[in-house]
Amino acid sequence: MKNTDAVQAFLALGQESRLNIFRLIVQRGDIGLTPTQIIEKLGIPNATLSFHLKELAQANLLLVERQSRNLIYRPNAKLVQDLSIFLLDNCCGGKECAPVKVHKKVKST
């Protein structure tokens, strides 16, 4: 991955609404989401959402598919994987990294 590609992706994710949109779409995986579903979940106005989806798609973070009259937005899993590899390249000076304990958020009822 080229630095410029990584920078473009990180710039797109560097805005809170876009980050929230992207995280929501990632949660749905291959199923994806329509703009209407995103609006229902996040309450973002249609014009604002359209702008943010365009920015994320231009950064290649999202794949867009037309199904009838709907657009379905899915995460570009390959790019996300490439970004992770890019960030972790030469991690820990080439030595095996110590395992990191991951804490999951617990939803309160």
Q: Where are the domains of the chain?
A: 3-89
Element (H, E) at 101: none
Query: Binning pLDDT at 50, 70 and 90, where does residue 103 land?
Result: low
Helix (H, G, I), strand (E, B) or coil at 70: strand
C-alpha to C-alpha distance for 28 and 24, rounded to whole angstroms: 7
pTM above 0.75, yes or no: yes
**Per-residue pLDDT at 96:** 72
C-alpha to C-alpha distance for 66 and 84, rounded to whole angstroms: 28
**Per-residue pLDDT at 108:** 58
Instruction: Determine whether 76 is exposed, middle or buried from the number of CB atoms within 10 Å of its CB (0-12, 13-18, 19+).
Output: buried
**Per-residue pLDDT at 92:** 75
CATH 3.40.50.300 fits 3-89, yes or no: no
67 with 16: CB under 8 angstroms?
no
**Per-residue pLDDT at 9:** 94
Residue 66 pLDDT more than 80? yes
Query: Binning pLDDT at 50, 70 and 90, where does residue 88 land?
Result: confident
38 with 49: CB under 8 angstroms?
yes
**Per-residue pLDDT at 91:** 77
Nearest to 42, CA basis, from 70, 12, 20: 20
Phi and psi torsions of 88, nearest 5°:
-95, 0
Nearest to 19, CA basis, from 46, 36, 47, 42: 42
